[in-house]
Every structure is written in C-alpha cells, then in structure tokens.
Amino acid sequence: MAVKSHYRGYAFMSLYTLSIPVLRRGLVNMIACLDKGVAWCAETGLAEGELLDARLAPDMHPLTRQYQIASDAAKGAGGRLSGGEPPSMADTEASFADLRGRIQRTIDYLDTVDAATVDAKAGTEVLVKLPGAELRFSAEDFLASFVFPNFFFHASMAYAIMRMKGVPLGKMDYLQLQNVIVRTPAAA
C-alpha cells in the first residue's frame, strides 16, 4: 500500500543506503567508544559496574540500557524495513563483554538484511506497535522521524555518560568518519 511521505521526491539514495549502512556504522562507532571505556576503566581502576550503571540524571537510563535501546532501534528498523524478524535479545547484559557481544550480534543481523527487499519497501506503510498505540509511517518517515532520532539519541547518551565518567572520547570518536576524503588547502 502506498503511503504519503513527507520525504517523497527528495531521496537521491536508496532506502537501504540511507538506513542499514548508517545504523551499522553507528553501532560500529558504539563498539569503538565502548572499547575506550574498557581501556579507561583498566587504566584508572574505575569499576566496570560503575561505568555500566552510570546515568546522566536520576530519571535517565544507565549506560547499559542506552546500548540496549540503540541495538533494539537498529535491529527493529532492519526487521520492519525488510519484512524480516529481528533477533530477540533479552536485555540481560551485565558486562562490557556482554554489551559488545550484543552490538556485534546486531551488526551481524543488519549484515543479513537484503538491500533489494528494503528498497522495495519505499513508499509503503510501516506499522510500529507500542503498548496502547499503533504508529503508522511511510517507510521514509519511519526512518527519518522515528528510527534515526531514537537510535542517535541513545547512541549520544551513551557517549555523554562515558564522557561524564571521564572516558577520553572526542567528537571524532562518536563520528568515526569513514569513506571520507580529507583535503587540506594548498599552502599559499
């Protein structure tokens, strides 16, 4: 069923290219940041649990939950955009190794998502069932107004929690630029 999209006519790349590789890269970046957190704890003697349980405010989720929700957002997008069933993950991670494993399993799942199947979803309806509500989106709006804000919110909160605890991360750790050509101006 075709659905009206606010983004129809603006996409210059395929739905797959705009979604799965972007989420995959975000997850790879989250692993890199987590690895820096592991190293920081080893270097400073900060207990693993102190970083995993850290939160920015009392009513916010701790680091572990930020990773879990980012994983859920990415694998849920993969499933909804491909018509597949994302792997179920029980939210039982209690260590850096557990979190790293979960993010890697999410990446492994995204690597199985078929590009042509996702591209065929363009312009069709995506249904998200929440407790007490059903959200209906075009595939493009689902990605732009639900998946990306949710995924990147939790990825950035994870980054911010680690920074708050002293992990030496910078903006480039979060971005982990790939496939970028850096040009420096010629000397005058």
pLDDT along the chain (188 residues), means of 10: 51 84 95 95 96 97 98 97 93 97 97 96 92 94 96 97 94 68 65
pLDDT for res 160? 96
pTM: 0.87
pLDDT for res 181? 61
pLDDT for res 35? 96
For residue 44, the 8-state DSSP code is H
- Helices 63-82 and 96-110 meet at what angle, rounded to 10? 10
CB 124 within 8 A of CB 83: no
Structure tokens belonging to residue 35: 């690895």
Q: Please report where in the chains the tokens 């820096």 appear, as a residue.
A: 36
CB 77 within 8 A of CB 150: no
pLDDT for res 1? 47
Distance CA 51, CA 19 (A): 30
